[in-house]
Amino acid sequence: MIFPEIIIDQDQALGLEHFKEMDYYAVNNYKLPIELMMENAGLNLATLVASFSKSGQNICIGIGNGNNGGGGLVAARRLAAWGYNVFLDLMTDITKELPAIQLKRALKFGASLKNINTYDVWVDAYLGFSQRLPLSDNLLKTIVAANNSSAVKISLDIPTGFLGADSSNYFCPDKVLTLAAPKRILFELDKEAEIYIADLGIPKEVYLKFGVDILPFYTNSIIKQKR
């Protein structure tokens, strides 16, 4: 599938703190339930995976105990329902309410907790945009294994372990599905990944308030920074 490219200026991309303000404002002022935004993120992620892979392939989805992990679990449920072999890599016990609900749903739909040797796609939904370093030793080992694999690698929003150009030992994605708006930090990745944007359902008025041009989500475009 060929995706159109959209070239943006740097000022059209958000810093992480600016994005957090935008996210919280949308939730608090437009009564957007976190679970609805999680469902939107997961559906966008599953659709991106399906756009370049085939039913029956092996998909590993790395899951953390937060909202990003919840989005990964929504994608797992969707992909399992579409005929993919979905394997969940839980980096920790899933104890928070929404991710725990999503985990039960994903397993009910056929996702598996079994480990296998080879994956066609490896999805990084371990940590979100509020991640802190250093990563645990076990998660570091997982990141190294993912990077050394032949799988197509996708990060849901900011890659795990990446907090800017000086970062080391982070998940190195071929594709990034960032949430709601382009983020400046993604253009600092050593490896030039394809960047897509997930529509979380945030209204146009919120984008205008935070000085961000709303992009045409329906085109599934690849976002590139103007050089």
Digit-coded pLDDT (tens) for 119-133: 999 999 999 887 888
pLDDT of 77: 98
Half-sphere exposure of 152 (CA within 13 A, CB side): 16
**Bond before 182 cis per omega within 30 degrees:** no
Residue-wise pLDDT tens digits, 187-227: 888 777 899 989 999 999 999 999 888 777 766 677 776 55
CA 113 to CA 108: how far, in whole Å?
Answer: 12
Predicted local distance difference test score (pLDDT) of residue 4:
60
The pLDDT, as a whole number, for residue 1 is 47
- Flag residues of the chain having pLDDT under 70: 1-4, 9-11, 218-220, 225-227
Residue ranges per structural domain of the chain: 5-215
Q: What is the CA radius of gyration of the chain?
A: 16
pLDDT given at position 219: 66
Residue pair 91/126 in contact (Cβ under 8 Å)? The answer is: yes
Q: Does domain 5-215 have CATH number 3.40.50.10260?
A: yes
pLDDT of residue 218: 62
- The per-residue pLDDT for 211 is 87
Q: Which two tokens stand for residue 58?
A: 């092996």
